[in-house]
Amino acid sequence: MPPKAKVTREQVVEQAALLVRERGISGLTAKALAERLHCSTQPIFWLYASMEEVKEAVQERALLKFDEYLRRKIDDVSAYKAIGLNYIRFATEETEYFKMLFMSKQSGTDILKGHIERSYVLGVLAQEENIKGDTAQNIYEEMWLFSHGIATMLATGTAQFSGERIDAMLSDVYRGLVLRLKERDDRQEKEIFSLSEKTGTRK
């Protein structure tokens, strides 16, 4: 029977998460974690099978933090726009978590197809903006890519934008997308109407 661990699983994850937030995912090593816990590496591996398992536990904690950010309400801002602003804020305030979740192989998922908050975002579009179906999916994908671009530039320090500029850009892109997709839907509806008139199938 192995000796009783001097630390708990919760303590391991807590210190591992702090390491990631301070040094990034590459800074989370068994040696660095043991130093934080003031013990050898043995207790860590009594509790976790590998460092990959520790990283997975940290990723779960990061996802909970991300979920908390994304659902925050912002005064005088629509629920859908708040999602984009909160996503970008997460990238600036929890930069290493953001990199781990959305800029590294650690996430292991397609940022659009496998996004954990996809259903929530589409739900907000349907409830708050009355946009559903393919139109909602298109807006979701294009707005998410745009927001991700800004968030990535801020997280990596390759660009700087004021809060007012980010707010204006998100509004402009969203309005442009809605207008373009509405025009497309109207055009398709007219084409269907015209075809039904020619074939005599219009009721």
Tens of pLDDT along 84-141? 999 999 999 999 999 999 988 755 556 666 566 788 889 998 998 888 888 888 888 8
Structure confidence by residue, pLDDT tens digits, 21-31: 999 999 999 99
Residue 143 CB coordination number (10 Å): 21
Structure confidence by residue, pLDDT tens digits, 178-192: 888 777 766 766 666
Structure confidence by residue, pLDDT tens digits, 52-63: 999 999 999 999
CA 31/CA 198 separation, integer angstroms: 75
Q: Provide the residue count of the chain.
A: 203
Give domain 64-199's CATH architecture: Orthogonal Bundle (1.10)
For the domain with range 1-48, which CATH number is right: 3.40.50, 1.20.1440, 1.10.10, 1.10.1740?
Answer: 1.10.10
Q: What average pLDDT score do residues 73-94 get?
A: 93
Q: Residue 37 has what pLDDT?
A: 96
More confident residue, 181 or 42: 42
Q: Residue 65 has what pLDDT?
A: 95
What dihedral do alpha carbons 188, 193, 199, 201 form, nearest 10°? 120
- For the chain, domain boundaries: 1-48, 64-199
Comparing 1-48 with 64-199, is the CATH topology the same?
no
